[in-house]
DNA sequence: AAGCCAATAATTGATGTATATCAATTATCC
DNA sequence: GGATAATTGATATACATCAATTATTGGCTT
């Protein structure tokens, strides 16, 4: 199922007619921006670009891993599988995103799973190679730390939001997150089931559907299948903030 | 209220008859262990040791900060203040702990507050000085990253625990955390109010008291004022795991 | 390519329950 | 001895669970 593009990416890869070098350089906010060409070549030499189809697992919780993932194209869900079988989707990873946490930094195993919700192209980079660059380029180490700190603050906020807000506030948060962080558009088609949207919002699918219906009745949003349109963002923001 | 020990710590400080150098070197798991003597001296030169009394705020959410905190002695609560006035205590910081997140890595402001629950002695180290060492010592950068990753995984687990477990499971978690991570003893006197213990467990103080009472009735624990004794750890572990 | 079927997803309603809130009393501390 | 914290009880409610129906999707056949 998993296609491994074994082309070494120094030359143009098969996919998209562009090599992996560009995948590393092109994304805005890119964590690799402080790297020199040599350093990029060093990482690129050791890496593979992999294609995952919808539903495939990219990283599995509780398995060992020494790689970090750089998403090149597509969307993936970053989630935690809990003992009782109820998943918590923490965030959606998109092109340019960098997923670390396991591998070298952590010592042993992944504390989360990642799976493709659209076709995903991503690079796996060995964390030992990443850290070997720190000595030559401390801007890069700072970028990585900043990335981790950002993720930390994100989790801190999510912890509070999920434990303190009522359901409408959490649904509003999920909708605004999708609009502002993932699709950058007032209308978007979500490649997620209601169950998954509920797992992002910390509630049952039935509750999610009910709140969504209320929002539709109130003309805050419109929905048609998996397409959601944000009609009144300021009301959603207010619901999100109120609680 | 806040006493600033302005002795530069190259020489023996007034407190405890030991200098701050030792504060950096003595703690196990120490993030500073990869540093050479010169590098330690460099950080120490620029740092102050500060004493906080019970209740004092060490770091305030939403204020700017470019320092990281290294706890030298005492206990502090690391918490988030939410919009509706309900705090979430994320963890207890103890001697040897390192609190970053704001400052340089983050760009602008603190996403959490830290305050002393016992008398606390701590060092404030400018994050720019920390990061300037990365180029010379990449083991140190890796240690810092590992620290952040650990915190990340901790938050991920807490997010799941607080959203999926019932109250008894969360109270068991809090008790086991205090026993195993903070006091390393079956009997301990907690410098926290029931309100604060409830804020660690994501529930109201009334609910916390009720569950504690149930645990006492079941002979899992004993309580006398602020002193808690763990009598049957395996039962608590089972309650924690069951949910 | 059109059409049908089975499986899965989405929706809506009725009911149960974990937990918060409100209120009152008792204990503890400076 | 007055303020604050802890405890206990009675009540309210947000949300989950259970159950049934309707819609949608993907695969197979012709």
Å between B205 CA and C21 C1'? 12
CA distances to A152, A242, B159, B182, B217 from B84, rounded to whole Å, are 22, 8, 19, 29, 34
Cβ of B134 and A151 within 8 Å?
no
For residues B137 and B38, is the Cβ–Cβ distance under 8 A?
no
B134-187 pLDDT per residue, tens: 777 878 888 888 889 999 999 999 999 999 999 999 999 999 999 999 999 999
Å between A222 CA and C15 C1'? 30
- Chain A residue at shortest CA distance from B128: A142
Q: Is the pLDDT of residue B223 over 70?
A: yes
Asked if the C-beta of A209 comes within 8 angstroms of chain B's C-beta atoms, the answer is no
Q: Work out the minimum CA distance from A140 to partner chain B, whole angstroms.
A: 10
Q: What are the helix (H) ranges across B78-223?
A: 103-106, 127-132, 138-164, 167-177, 194-201, 205-217
Å between B34 CA and C2 C1'? 71
B119-142 pLDDT per residue, tens: 999 988 888 888 888 777 878 888
DSSP-assigned beta bridge partners for residue B229: B187, B222
Distance (Å, rounded) from C-alpha B141 to C-alpha A138? Answer: 9
Distance (Å, rounded) from C-alpha A220 to C-alpha A229? Answer: 9
Q: What is the pLDDT of residue B40?
A: 80
Asked if the C-beta of A105 comes within 8 angstroms of chain B's C-beta atoms, the answer is yes
Which whole number is the average pLDDT over A219-238? 96
Query: B1: buried, middle or exposed (CB in 10 Å: 19+, 13-18, 0-12)?
Result: exposed
Asked if the C-beta of B40 comes within 8 angstroms of chain A's C-beta atoms, the answer is no
Distance (Å, rounded) from C-alpha A113 to C-alpha A107? Answer: 17
Cβ of B138 and A156 within 8 Å?
no
A175-214 pLDDT per residue, tens: 999 999 999 999 999 999 999 999 999 999 999 999 999 9
B228 — phi, psi (to 5°)? -120, 135
Cβ of A159 and B158 within 8 Å?
yes
Q: Per the structure block, which two tokens stand in for A214?
A: 């209320």
- Chain B residue at shortest CA distance from A133: B138
- Is A31 or B104 the better-scoring residue by pLDDT? A31
DSSP-assigned beta bridge partners for residue B5: B49
**Chain A residues with beta carbon closer than 8 angstroms to that of B107:** 146
Q: What percent of chain B has pLDDT over 90?
A: 56
Closest CA to B180 of B94, B118, B114, B79: B94
Q: What residues approach strand C to within 7 A at the CB? A: A 193-195, 205-206, 209-210, 212-213, 223, 226; B 166-168, 202-204, 206-207, 225-226
Q: What is the pLDDT of residue A146?
A: 87
Q: Could you tell me the domains of chain B? A: 3-158 (2.60.120.10), 165-242 (1.10.10.10)
Please, which pLDDT band fits residue A18 given cuts at 50, 70 and 90? very low
**Chain B residues with beta carbon closer than 8 angstroms to that of A158:** 159
Q: What is the pLDDT of residue B15?
A: 41
Q: What is the pLDDT of residue A11?
A: 33
B97 — phi, psi (to 5°)? -75, 155
For residues A235 and A171, is the Cβ–Cβ distance under 8 A?
no
B residues 113-132 closer than 8 Å to A (CB): 131-132
Dmax of chain B from CA atoms?
58
Using alpha carbons only, how large is chain A's radius of gyration in Å?
19
The whole model's pTM is what? 0.90
Q: What is the pLDDT of residue B9?
A: 41
């Amino acid at each position: 199922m998993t296609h491994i593009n074994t082309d070494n990416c120094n030359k143009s890869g098969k996919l998209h007619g562009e090599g992996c070098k560009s995948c590393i350089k092109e994304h805005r906010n890119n964590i690799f921006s402080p790297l020199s060409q040599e350093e990029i070549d060093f990482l690129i030499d050791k890496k593979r670009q992999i294609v995952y189809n919808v539903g495939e697992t990219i990283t599995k919780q509780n398995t060992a891993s020494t790689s970090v993932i750089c998403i090149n194209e597509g969307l993936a869900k970053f989630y935690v599988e809990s003992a009782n079988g109820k998943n918590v989707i923490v965030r959606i990873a998109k092109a340019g995103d960098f997923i670390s946490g396991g591998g070298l930094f952590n010592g042993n195993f992944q504390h989360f799973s990642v799976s493709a919700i659209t076709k995903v192209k991503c690079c796996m980079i060995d964390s030992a190679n990443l850290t070997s660059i720190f000595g030559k380029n401390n801007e890069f180490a700072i970028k990585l730390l900043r990335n981790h700190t950002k993720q930390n603050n994100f989790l801190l906020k999510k912890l509070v939001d999920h434990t303190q807000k009522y359901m409408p506030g959490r649904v509003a948060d999920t909708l605004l997150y999708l609009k502002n962080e993932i699709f950058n558009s007032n209308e978007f088609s979500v490649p997620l089931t209601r169950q998954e949207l509920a797992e992002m919002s910390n509630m049952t699918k039935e509750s999610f559907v009910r709140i969504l219906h209320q929002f539709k009745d109130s003309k805050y949003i419109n929905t048609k299948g998996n397409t959601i349109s944000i009609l009144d963002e300021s009301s959603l923001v207010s619901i999100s903030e109120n609680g």
